[in-house]
Amino acid sequence: MTNPEWFNQLARTRRSVFPDQFKAGEKINDNIIKEILINATWAPNHGQMEPWKFVVFTGNGLKKFADFQSELYKEDAGAEFAEAKYIKLQQQPLKASHIIAICMKKTPKKNIPETEDIAAVACAVQNIYLSVTAYGLGGYWTTGGVTYNEKAKSFFELNEEDRLLGFFYIGYVAVPSVPAKRTPLEEKVTWVFQ
Ligand SMILES: Cc1cc2nc3c(=O)[nH]c(=O)nc-3n(C[C@H](O)[C@H](O)[C@H](O)COP(=O)(O)O)c2cc1C
C-alpha cells in the first residue's frame, strides 16, 4: 500500500492535544485503543525484543492513577510541596478517556544498549501519536508527574532496570490544536553527494 500524499498529510498535521482541549468525560471505545496499541507494537525494535509495555487506565482506573500520582507526589515533595500541583495531579487524568503508561522493559540481550530500547519505545509512541490522529482523536505524551520517580516503578510492575517513560493521554477533541511550525529542513540537513 503506497499513498505518500496521505501519509505526508498525517505526519505533518499531527499535533499534540492537551487534556484541557479534551471533551471531558467522553469515553472512547476500548477496541479503538486496542487498535492504536497494536499499531504501537509494529514499531521497529532492535533484535525483535519488543521492549515496550503499556498499562492502560480508563473508567475508574483514571481515578486510581490520579490518586497514585498525587499521593506519591505528596509523600515525596517535602518542603517543596505545592497544593496547586497536587490538585493538578489529581484532576488532570480525569479529563482523559484513556491514559497509557509508557514503559520500557530492558532487553536481556547484552549487545543492545538501553538507548536502543528507549528509541524503540519512542518509535512505538510515534505510532500511537499518528494512530490517534488518524482516528480523529487527540492526545499527547507527557513526562510529567511521577515519570522519573523510582518509587513509581512498582505500581507499573517495572523492575529496577526498566524505565517509566511517561504517559500518553487520549481523549475526544473539543478544542483542536493550532497548526505548528518547524525549522526549515535546510537548517537540519547536510547532504553529501560525493
Ligand atoms: C519525550 C516527550 C516528552 C514530552 N513531555 C511533555 C510534557 O511533559 N508536557 C507537555 O506539555 N508536553 C510534552 N510533550 C509534548 C510536546 O510538548 C509536544 O510534542 C511539542 O510541544 C510539539 O508539539 P506537537 O506534538 O503538536 O508537534 C512531550 C513530547 C515528547 C516527545
pTM here is 0.97
Bridge partners (DSSP) listed for residue 104: 52, 163
pLDDT exceeds 80 at position 1: no
What tens digit of pLDDT does each residue of 30-48 get? 999 999 999 999 999 999 9
For ligand 1, mutation pick of 92, 143, 147, 148 (most atoms within 8 Å of CB): 143
| Ligand 1 atom 6, closest CA | 142
Residue 29 exposed, middle or buried by CB count within 10 Å (0-12, 13-18, 19+): exposed
Distance from the alpha carbon of residue 155 to the mean position of ligand 1, in angstroms: 24
Q: What is the mean pLDDT of residues 4-11?
A: 97
| Ligand 1 atom 17, closest CA | 16
Cβ count near 82 (within 10 Å): 10
What tens digit of pLDDT does each residue of 152-190 get? 999 999 999 999 999 999 999 999 999 999 999 999 999
Phi and psi torsions of 167, nearest 5°: -140, 140
What tens digit of pLDDT does each residue of 90-132 get? 999 999 999 999 999 998 878 899 999 999 999 999 999 999 9
* Whether 124 contacts 183, CB under 8 Å: no
> What CA–CA distances, in Å, run from 114 to 34, 40, 121, 166?
27, 19, 11, 16
Distance from the alpha carbon of residue 17 to the mean position of ligand 1, in angstroms: 9
Give CA–CA dist 66/173, Å, rounded: 21
Task: Tell which residue, 32, 9, 86, 96, has the closest CA to residue 58.
Answer: 96
Which cell numbers in the block locate residue 162? Answer: 526498566
Task: Name every protein residue with a CB atom under 6 angstroms from any ligand 1 atom.
Answer: 15-16, 140-144, 166, 177, 180
